[in-house]
Structure 1
Amino acid sequence: MHILHIYKDYPPVVGGIEGHLGLLAEGLVARGHQVTVLVSGQGWRTRRTTQAGVQVVAAGRVATLASTPLSPALPLLVAQLRPDLIHLHHPYPPGDAVALLAGGRTPLVVTYHSDIVRQERLGRLVAPLVRRTLQHAKRIIATSPAYIRSSPFLAPVASRCRVVPFGLPPSFFTPADPARVAALKARWPGPRTLFVGRLRYYKGADRLVRAMAHVPGHALLVGGDATVRAQDLAVLAAQCGVAERVHLLGTQPDTELAAFYQAADVFVLPSVERSEAFGIVQIEAQAAGLPIVCTELGTGTSYITQHGRTGIVVPPDDVPALARALRVLLANPQLAQAMGAAGRTRAHQEFSLERMLNRVEAVYAEALGDG
Structure 2
Amino acid sequence: MRVLHFFKTYLPDTTGGIEQVIFQLCEGTRRLDVDSEVLTLSQTVTQAQIQIASHKVYRAKQAFTIASTGFSLEVFDQFRQLAKSADIIHFHFPWPAMDLVHFASSHGKPCVASYHSDIVRQRALSVCYRPLMLRFLASMDRILAASPNYVSSSRILARFNDKTTVIPYGLDREAYPEPSTERLAYWRERLPARFFLFVGVLRYYKGLEYLLEAVAGTGWPVVIAGAGPEEANLKEQARQLELDHLIWTGRIADEDKACLLQLCHAFVFPSHLRSEAFGISLLEAAMYGKPMISCEIGTGTTFVNLDGVTGMAVPPADSPALRRAMGQLWENPALAAKLGANAAHRFEEQFSAQRMCEQTVQVYRDVLQGS
Normalising to structure 2: TM-score of the pair?
Answer: 0.91
CA RMSD of aligned residues (A): 2.4
Map Cα deviations across residues 47-77 of structure 1 (whole Å, 9 max, x no partner). Answer: 3344434232323444332232222344443
Name the CA distance, whole Å, in 2 between partners of 1:73 and 1:232.
Answer: 36
Name the CA distance, whole Å, in 1 between partners of 2:77 and 2:188.
Answer: 55
Name the CA distance, whole Å, in 2 between partners of 1:39 and 1:180.
Answer: 33
Q: CA deviation at 1:282?
A: 0.7
Matches within 5 A, 1:74-223: 74-81=75-82, 82=84, 83-101=86-104, 103=106, 105-171=108-174, 176-178=179-181, 180-181=183-184, 184-213=187-216, 215-223=218-226
Q: CA deviation at 1:137?
A: 0.8
Contact 1:46/1:59 (<8 A) preserved: no
Map Cα deviations across residues 80-124 of structure 1 (whole Å, 9 max, x no partner). Answer: 331211110111112112223455821110001111211223322
Q: For the structure 1 residues 53 and 44, does the alpha-carbon distance in structure 2 shift closer, same or farther, using more than 3 Å as the test?
A: closer
Q: For 1:194, what is the secondary structure of its paired residue?
A: strand
- Which shifted more, 275-284 or 206-215? 206-215
Q: For the structure 1 residues 172 and 22, does the alpha-carbon distance in structure 2 shift closer, same or farther, using more than 3 Å as the test?
A: closer
Map Cα deviations across residues 312-333 of structure 1 (whole Å, 9 max, x no partner). Answer: 0000011110000111111111
In the alignment, structure 2 segments of 5+ residues that lack a partner are none
Q: For the structure 1 residues 53 and 236, does the alpha-carbon distance in structure 2 shift closer, same or farther, using more than 3 Å as the test?
A: closer
Q: For the structure 1 residues 74 and 235, does the alpha-carbon distance in structure 2 shift closer, same or farther, using more than 3 Å as the test?
A: closer
Name the CA distance, whole Å, in 1 between partners of 2:170 and 2:146.
Answer: 10
Name the CA distance, whole Å, in 2 between partners of 1:75 and 1:234.
Answer: 41
Name the CA distance, whole Å, in 2 between partners of 1:34 and 1:180.
Answer: 35
Q: CA deviation at 1:149?
A: 1.4
Partner of 2:70: 69
- Which shifted more, 328-337 or 295-304? 328-337
Q: For 1:272, what is the secondary structure of its paired residue?
A: coil
Contact 1:141/1:161 (<8 A) preserved: yes
Matches within 5 A, 1:249-288: 249-288=249-288
Partner of 1:8: 8
Q: For the structure 1 residues 108 and 46, does the alpha-carbon distance in structure 2 shift closer, same or farther, using more than 3 Å as the test?
A: farther
Which amino acid in 2 is paired with 1:107?
Answer: P
Contact 1:329/1:335 (<8 A) preserved: yes
Name the CA distance, whole Å, in 1 between partners of 2:257 and 2:343.
Answer: 18
Q: For the structure 1 residues 43 and 196, does the alpha-carbon distance in structure 2 shift closer, same or farther, using more than 3 Å as the test?
A: closer
Q: For the structure 1 residues 219 and 111, does the alpha-carbon distance in structure 2 shift closer, same or farther, using more than 3 Å as the test?
A: same
In the alignment, structure 1 segments of 5+ residues that lack a partner are none
Which amino acid in 2 is paired with 1:70?
Answer: F
* 2:41 is aligned with 1:27: no
Q: For the structure 1 residues 122 and 213, does the alpha-carbon distance in structure 2 shift closer, same or farther, using more than 3 Å as the test?
A: same
Contact 1:212/1:323 (<8 A) preserved: yes
Q: For 1:307, what is the secondary structure of its paired residue?
A: coil
Q: For the structure 1 residues 48 and 3, does the alpha-carbon distance in structure 2 shift closer, same or farther, using more than 3 Å as the test?
A: same
Name the CA distance, whole Å, in 1 between partners of 2:179 and 2:45.
Answer: 42
Normalising to structure 1: TM-score of the pair?
Answer: 0.91
Contact 2:178/2:255 (<8 A) preserved: no
Which amino acid in 2 is paired with 1:132?
Answer: R
Q: CA deviation at 1:219?
A: 1.0
Contact 2:287/2:347 (<8 A) preserved: yes
Q: For 2:192, what is the secondary structure of its paired residue?
A: coil
Which amino acid in 2 is paired with 1:277?
Answer: A
Which amino acid in 2 is paired with 1:209?
Answer: L
Aligned length: 368
Matches within 5 A, 1:41-56: 41-42=42-43, 47-56=48-57
Q: Larger relative CO (CA 8 A, sep 6+): 1 or 2? A: 2
Q: For 2:92, what is the secondary structure of its paired residue?
A: strand
Q: For the structure 1 residues 237 and 161, does the alpha-carbon distance in structure 2 shift closer, same or farther, using more than 3 Å as the test?
A: same
Which amino acid in 2 is paired with 1:245?
Answer: H
Q: CA deviation at 1:178?
A: 5.0
Q: For the structure 1 residues 72 and 188, does the alpha-carbon distance in structure 2 shift closer, same or farther, using more than 3 Å as the test?
A: closer
Q: Identity of aligned pairs, percent?
A: 37
Partner of 1:304: 304
Q: CA deviation at 1:309?
A: 0.4
Name the CA distance, whole Å, in 1 between partners of 2:334 and 2:44.
Answer: 54
Contact 2:177/2:254 (<8 A) preserved: no
Name the CA distance, whole Å, in 2 between partners of 1:26 and 1:165.
Answer: 17
Name the CA distance, whole Å, in 2 between partners of 1:76 and 1:104.
Answer: 11
Partner of 1:233: 234
Which amino acid in 2 is paired with 1:36?
Answer: E
Contact 1:173/1:287 (<8 A) preserved: no
Partner of 1:364: 364
Q: For the structure 1 residues 206 and 41, does the alpha-carbon distance in structure 2 shift closer, same or farther, using more than 3 Å as the test?
A: closer
Contact 1:144/1:163 (<8 A) preserved: yes
Q: For the structure 1 residues 77 and 266, does the alpha-carbon distance in structure 2 shift closer, same or farther, using more than 3 Å as the test?
A: same
Q: CA deviation at 1:23?
A: 2.4
Contact 1:191/1:265 (<8 A) preserved: yes
Q: For 1:249, what is the secondary structure of its paired residue?
A: strand
Contact 1:202/1:272 (<8 A) preserved: yes
